[in-house]
A and B are shown apart, each in its own frame.
Chain A
Amino acid sequence: METLRDAFDFRDFSKPEKVGFVIFTLFLLVFPWLGAGSFVKAVVIQFLLFSLFGMGWNTIGGYGGQVELGKAQYVGIGAYTVALAMVWWKIPFWVSMPIGVLIALGYSFIIGYPLFRLKGHYFAIATICTSLVLQDIFINWKLVGAAKGIELPIHEHPDFLYMQFKSDTYYFYFIMALFYVAIFYMNWFRKSKLGYQLRMIKEDEEAAESLGIDARWCKIKAYSIASAFVAVGGGFLAVYNLYIDPYSVMDLDLSIKIALMAMLGGAGSMWGPIIGSAFLVPLDRFLGSWLGAHKGLIGVDFMIYSALIMIVSAYQPRGIWGIIEQFRKR
């Protein structure tokens, strides 16, 4: 009960935040009826998906302050579980997705246990390595489609059990629902014992240990929560794209994007990952399609993208949300 009350209790946010949140929610609710084109719809779906990833990453990376750059492997685990279960045994999405989350949780404990012996840069490098190793295994593993990946069977009629729809609108509302579950979860998490303990670990790990906090165990728990979040998103990705391969769902590029968006928006804050994703996903897609279409300008989008990230992080390490708070304090 207490948990539920905490999750839905937004009273400690400032008024602009609350108003913004309500307006944003209303906008999302009516968005599919605003007549946006399929490209814009796809961008918004992508934005919600990356917000979900970012909020997950925020537990260990933001609140816990650990530079975690291996989230893609859990996107992969979620996506592959859903895809393979469907192709091999015709298991519906609603069964395979939770199984994928459970596998991700189990795997994250196994990986997390040795991983959190490391700290700082070594930890960051190790997270990248674990993800790359899993990607390599999947690239070479014939049984799961190797580098070619897996195509999901397309059903003739829309099928809720298998999450197959003709219209993007259904996918939109589904990912939106997941997005809100994530928001409520994070609203609880930031007030939970684990949330406080992680923040203390981020502040001063030595002091945290002296206050009875088992830092390593806390980090493993947060890492697993993050992995579960990301695996949910991975499952969605499989049914949404109907095609996955190790390059699209397990790439280092994806891991870095997840961490980067959350950091740019403001790691360790409630809205940071959402803001970061709202900023970078459209930028990424529009710049890519606009500049990429011009001969001689290919790659310029990456330069603009990187420059923005550098400017924000040089100006305020706590990201866009940090800048907003800085102005509010004045």
Chain B
Amino acid sequence: MAFLEVNDLVKDFGGVVANNHVSFQIDQGEIIGLIGPNGAGKTTLFNCVVGYHKPDSGKVIFKEKEITGFKPFMTNREGIGRTFQIMKVTAGMTVLENVMVGAFCRTDDRNLAKVEAAAILGFLGLDSLRAYHLNELPIASQKKVGLARALATQPELLMLDEVASGLNPKETEEMVDLLKKIHRDKRITLFLIEHVMEVVMPISQRVIVLDGGEKIAEGLPKEIVKNERVIKAYLGEKYAKSL
């Protein structure tokens, strides 16, 4: 039985069909990449799974429970965490407090939440940033805080929307290592939207490709880069040849 199953999902924004009969499955412990050109419907697909959008038809099944149309906070409580492509950069709360809010998802005790949050910041190597506010941090750190916040809710499936966008090559490499560490040590299934090939190709065990709202390919990274439709739609022949 699949861990996350998306069945024939359709999301129509009145004329623009963002997701057109998309189906796929994810097994527990996998790392899955979701790629596709701009406007392919990747974020919409995420939002449909997590509950920011209600799918027009189709089903989302998580751990054998149908969660179609659940609100975001409900899917989170089921065990799905997510990060955002663009984080709101705010000045009202410190990094530690941000992560504590995540930890409060599983406990009512403030001290416990604090301990939990500190542990996660330590795990991600963010100890030194505890007292800063989000608006005082560089973008790479902001993204890591977003990651820490989501991790604090103790998800079993973590959905990452472009964690590497806006990062330089060195930061990207760090982020990849961090994702590997999360996957390895916390045994969390990762599902990531990614534009940066340096992230998606080395860590994904399977890749799903969307174009124009439809799933056009699915398979191992090696196969995907050789797939004609994918190359045409998205990669450009140059990158495919270089592999």
Contact: A193 with B104, CB < 8 Å? yes
Residue A209, interface by CB 8 Å: yes
Contact: A191 with B110, CB < 8 Å? yes
Give the chain B neighbours of A214 by CB distance below 8 A: 71, 73
Chain A 189-204: CB-based contact to B (< 8 A → 1; otherwise 0): 0011100110110111
Contact: A212 with B77, CB < 8 Å? yes
Residue A206, interface by CB 8 Å: yes
Which of A2, A191, A213 lies at the interface centre, i.e. has the most chain B CB atoms within 10 A of its CB?
Answer: A213
The size of the chain B interface, using a CB distance under 8 A, is: 31
Interface residues of B in 98-116 (CB under 8 A from A): 98, 100-102, 104-105, 108-110, 113
Contact: B93 with A203, CB < 8 Å? yes
Give the chain A neighbours of B90 by CB distance below 8 A: 203-204
Q: What distance in Å separates the Cβ of B150 from its nearest Cβ neighbour in chain A?
A: 7
Q: What distance in Å separates the Cβ of A268 from its nearest Cβ neighbour in chain B?
A: 7
Give the chain B neighbours of A283 by CB distance below 8 A: none
Residue A207, interface by CB 8 Å: yes
Interface residues of A in 1-23 (CB under 8 A from B): 2, 6
Answer whether A211 and B97 are a contact pair too, CB < 8 Å, given A192-B110, A197-B104: no
Task: Give the contacting residue for B87; candidates A191, A207, A211; CB below 8 A.
Answer: A207
Contact: A268 with B101, CB < 8 Å? no
Interface residues of B in 44-96 (CB under 8 A from A): 50, 52, 71-73, 76-77, 81-82, 84, 87-88, 90, 92-93
- Chain A interface residue number, banded: 20 to 34
Contact: B105 with A211, CB < 8 Å? yes
Contact: A210 with B72, CB < 8 Å? yes
Contact: A213 with B71, CB < 8 Å? no
Which residue of the partner chain A has the closest CB to B97? A196
Task: Give the contacting residue for A209; candidates B72, B100, B149; CB below 8 A.
Answer: B72
Give the chain A neighbours of B113 by CB distance below 8 A: 193, 196
Alpha-carbon separation in the docked complex, A212 to B77 (Å): 6
Alpha-carbon separation in the docked complex, A215 to B71 (Å): 11
Give the chain B neighbours of A210 by CB distance below 8 A: 50, 72-73, 76, 81-82, 84, 150
Give the chain B neighbours of A208 by CB distance below 8 A: 101
Interface residues of A in 170-227 (CB under 8 A from B): 191-193, 196-197, 199-200, 202-204, 206-215
Chain B 122-140: CB-based contact to A (< 8 A → 1; otherwise 0): 0000000000000000000
Which residue of the partner chain A has the closest CB to B152? A211
Contact: B101 with A206, CB < 8 Å? no
Alpha-carbon separation in the docked complex, A2 to B92 (Å): 25
Give the chain B neighbours of A215 by CB distance below 8 A: 73
Task: Give the contacting residue for A199; candidates B50, B88, B92; CB below 8 A.
Answer: B92
Which of A2, A204, A214, A268 lies at the interface centre, i.e. has the most chain B CB atoms within 10 A of its CB?
Answer: A204
Alpha-carbon separation in the docked complex, A209 to B100 (Å): 14
Contact: A213 with B101, CB < 8 Å? yes
Give the chain A neighbours of B81 by CB distance below 8 A: 210
Residue B19, interface by CB 8 Å: no
Which residue of the partner chain A has the closest CB to B99? A211
Contact: A199 with B97, CB < 8 Å? yes
Alpha-carbon separation in the docked complex, A210 to B28 (Å): 21
Contact: B97 with A209, CB < 8 Å? no
Extra contacts besides A204-B90, A210-B76 (6): CB < 8 Å: A200-B101, A206-B88, A209-B71, A211-B152, A213-B73, A214-B73
Interface residues of A (CB under 8 A from B): 2, 6, 191-193, 196-197, 199-200, 202-204, 206-215, 268
18 A–B pairs (Cβ distance < 8 Å), ordered by A: A6-B110, A191-B110, A193-B110, A197-B101, A199-B93, A199-B97, A202-B92, A204-B88, A204-B90, A207-B146, A209-B73, A210-B84, A211-B153, A212-B73, A212-B153, A213-B73, A213-B105, A214-B71
Q: Which 3 A-B pairs have the closest CB atoms?
A: A212-B105, A212-B76, A209-B72
